[in-house]
Amino acid sequence: MAALLNAAWAAEPAKTTAAPSSTAAVPLSSPIAGGGNGASGIPAGTGAGVHSPNSPFAPLPARVDVLAWSMLTAVKTKVEKNRVLPVFPSDIQALNKKTQRVQGFMMPLEPGEKQRHFLLASVPLTCSFCTPGGPESMVEVKTKTPVKYSLEAVVVEGEFAVLQDDPYGLYYRITDAVPVK
């Protein structure tokens, strides 16, 4: 199969689009609506992501004992130099350094079945190379003890941090997390 794809690719000439008034090639645009760029052309995902109706995973069940993703994704951004920084409303800022519960889908950051460091996303992954939404749709989780990886939704509880200027571009983190049923 790979040989067929390589042969087809080699036989197909590269496609470029010419600028109307010049012979210079114009770069192809992003397939993402709006060019996939945040303010000032800095790449940035936005929103809570989309749970595909074709997903084999059920959407997150409604729970009143967890932070709502609709609240966590209600973040604005500002650009300072070459960085996109979050601007949190006061209700999100009030969550900082308090014990909170978050429900989501695990995105492992370590190899193995047991995870101590992972991201929780508002929607399940559809591609192992893609993020399901913007940084407001994910919470970094560091657990007290390893948690078994699951494709199904999980709930964790721990100290919630609202990150004003994280070097990795994250907006939220939970530390000393424990799984909750």
For tokens 């059920």, what's the residue?
58
pTM: 0.74
Task: Tell me the percentage of the chain whose pLDDT exceeds 90.
Answer: 57
What pLDDT is stored for residue 138 in this prediction? 96
Per-residue pLDDT band at 82 (split at 50, 70, 90): confident
Per-residue pLDDT band at 131 (split at 50, 70, 90): confident
Cα pseudo-dihedral 140, 145, 146, 152, rounded to 10:
-60
What pLDDT is stored for residue 38 in this prediction? 45
DSSP assignment of the chain equals -HHHHHHHHHHSPP--EE-TTSSSEEPPPPSSGGGGB-GGG-B---SS----TT-SSPPPPP-SSS--HHHHT--EEEEETTEEEEE--HHHHTTTTEEEEEEEEEEESSSSSEEEEEEEESS--S-TTS-SS-GGGEEEEEEEEEEE--SS-EEEEEEEEE-SS-TT---EEEEEEEEE-
What pLDDT is stored for residue 45 in this prediction? 58
The domain locations on the chain are 51-180
Using one digit for the tens of pLDDT, what is the confidence trace for 168-179? 999 999 999 999
Tell me the average pLDDT across 86-95.
97
In the predicted structure, residue 154 carries a pLDDT above the cut 60 = yes
Q: What is the CATH number of domain 51-180?
A: 2.40.50.870
What pLDDT is stored for residue 50 in this prediction? 80
What pLDDT is stored for residue 54 in this prediction? 83
Six token digits for residue 106: 């695990």
For tokens 């995105």, what's the residue?
107
CA dist., res. 141 & res. 110, Å (int): 12
Using one digit for the tens of pLDDT, what is the confidence trace for 14-53? 444 444 444 444 443 333 344 344 444 444 556 777 888 8
Six token digits for residue 97: 């350094």
What pLDDT is stored for residue 5 in this prediction? 33
Nearest by Cα to 140 from 112, 108, 172, 109: 172
Using one digit for the tens of pLDDT, what is the confidence trace for 97-130? 999 999 999 999 999 999 999 999 999 887 777 7
